[in-house]
Amino acid sequence: MRDEDLITAHLSGDLDAGDTLARRYYAALLDYFRLRVPDDQVEELTQHTLLHTIARCDRFRRASSFRHYVYAVARRVVAEHYRRHRHAPDFDDKCEEAPANDTSPSAHVARGQRRARLEHAV
């Protein structure tokens, strides 16, 4: 199935379509981030990028490929990562590792969308 078809399905409420998009770009984004950020940040930034692109795929204008959109988001994530860490103290030794979360990317997106609708309603 093409990316555009998956986006349409996801926007219509098909959570599996969002998962498929996330799986489709996961490995490529890992490679992208491995070349640009420290190893301990690769997974987190990959997940952040996927959550962002899937949650906001309604902003994708289809003037270019979805792949281009995903990598544009990834570039912004890298830039923000370095802006944020330029002055940030190193807390790695003082923080516990967060517990693993087995929730799918689409479930995270759906939860965020519900939260946004609730906040808007309030």
> Whole domain around residue 7: which residue ranges?
3-87
Contact 74, 49 (CB under 8 A): yes
| In-domain check, residue 34 | yes
Distance (Å, whole) CA 46 – CA 20: 15
The proportion of the chain whose per-residue pLDDT surpasses 90, expressed as a percent, equals: 51
Contact 24, 3 (CB under 8 A): yes
Q: Identify whether 94 is part of a domain.
A: no
| Number of independent structural domains in the chain | 1
pLDDT at 53 over 60: yes
How many degrees, rounded to 5, is the angle at CA 61 between CA 55 and CA 67? 70
Residue 49 lies in a domain: yes
Question: Is 60 within a domain?
Answer: yes
In a domain, residue 69? The reply is: yes
Pairwise CA distance, residues 67 & 25, whole Å: 8
> Checking phi first, is residue 49 left (phi over 0); if not, alpha (psi -120 to 50) or beta?
alpha
Q: Is residue 28 part of a domain?
A: yes
Element (H, E) at 42: helix 39-55
The band of 94, judged by pLDDT with boundaries at 50, 70 and 90, is very low
CATH code, 50: 1.10.1740.10
52 found inside a domain: yes
Q: Report if residue 107 sits inside a domain.
A: no
Average pLDDT, the chain: 83
Give pLDDT tens digits for 29-45. Answer: 999 999 999 999 999 99
